[in-house]
Amino acid sequence: MEDEHFEDVEAFFNACQQLRGKRVGIVGHTQIDGDAAGSQIALFEILKNMASMPFLIEPETGIPDNLKFLYEGYELHRPSDPSVEEWCVVDCGTPNRPGKFFEALHPFLLIDHHLPPATFALHNFVHPRAAATCEILADYLYQKNFPIPRSAARALYVGLIMDTGNYTYDSVRASTLRLGAYLLDQGLRPQPLATLVYNQEPRRKFSLLERFLKSWKFYADEQLCFGFLQDQDYRNTGCTLEDAQGFVDYPRSVCGVRISGLLQEYEGICKISLRSHEPALRLDQIAQRFQGGGHTCAAGFLTTAAPSSFWDELMNALQERLKAVEGPSL
């Protein structure tokens, strides 16, 4: 079976060539995850190699503890720090995902894999079939036999494993696994990386997890499970939104639960995350009703509205989808 390469590789490197000699800011989304971090670092190295002057922009919400090791040896800038001439955005399906500073931004380059495909940059390299934005960049590098430093290979590999559930999600293709092998061939060892990503959690996170587990509520004959975290949960545990990454997956592992959800209220923002094992449920379409997006099995949205203003509509949409789509046969 032939690998499914992304065919716009030449257009991508031609676009990067146009940034030669320019000061380029590279930004991912707020509440940054492994895929956004890995894509950001890899693009930095590509542009630096092609004689641009790239800047890594620190997300407004900071970097989670388990990803800080990826940025060792790199300088991080605030959005207003450098005199940026052009902007590049990675792993963002909507223009507002990088944060408030970037809401009116018209970036030069976008690399992404979310649904629906976004086109808010001058040059858009968007592939929803990709399991991760890191997969797109790793494939571009592979096709061109482009020199890749170990730090970028490490960042891309972490992005791949985190956005694929360690290669278990339905989005994973044979070519995704081959790209993982290509990155390991750059001298990486998977076990130490997995330890840094998954097994170095601060104790405060488990205090927050305890509160999340106690908050669960079941709906739709226990096919739908939501957990809730509020401002006071974060204050009392010393946590931030980043500490709750991955929590939404816990209810998804309960027998009979077809959709899991997490509603977070933090500093005037509501963040809703949705997960499922069933692509047919099209959680991305439900999130789009609330100006969000994502993937078929992993989606969400952000809003400044109070939960009371959208909760009934969200519950109705989720329960209607569960009724309309027959569950998988066991």
pLDDT at residue 1 in the model: 33
Average pLDDT over residues 228-254: 95
Quote the percentage of the chain above a pLDDT of 90.
85
Residue 193 one-letter amino acid: L
Alpha helices in 27-149 (DSSP H): 34-49, 133-144
pLDDT in tens, 73-129: 999 998 887 789 999 999 999 898 998 888 888 899 999 999 889 999 999 999 999
pLDDT at residue 99 in the model: 87
pLDDT in tens, 188-210: 999 999 999 999 899 999 999 99
Task: Specify whether the CB–CB gap between 319 and 220 falls below 8 A.
Answer: yes
Task: Specify whether the CB–CB gap between 197 and 77 falls below 8 A.
Answer: no
Q: Which of 224, 253, 215 is nearest to 317 (CA)?
A: 224
Quote the percentage of the chain above a pLDDT of 70.
98
Q: Is the pLDDT of residue 328 over 80?
A: no
Task: Specify whether the CB–CB gap between 110 and 291 falls below 8 A.
Answer: no
- Asked whether the whole model's pTM tops 0.75, one would answer yes
Q: Confirm or reject CATH 2.40.50.140 for domain 205-324, answering yes or no.
A: no
Distance, CA of 279 to CA of 263 (rounded, Å): 21
pLDDT at residue 326 in the model: 87
Mean pLDDT of the chain: 94
pLDDT band at 329 (very low <50, low <70, confident <90, very high): low
The domain segmentation of the chain, as residue ranges, is: 9-197, 205-324
Helices 133-144 and 9-17: crossing angle in degrees, nearest 10, is 90
The CATH number that domain 9-197 falls under is 3.90.1640.10
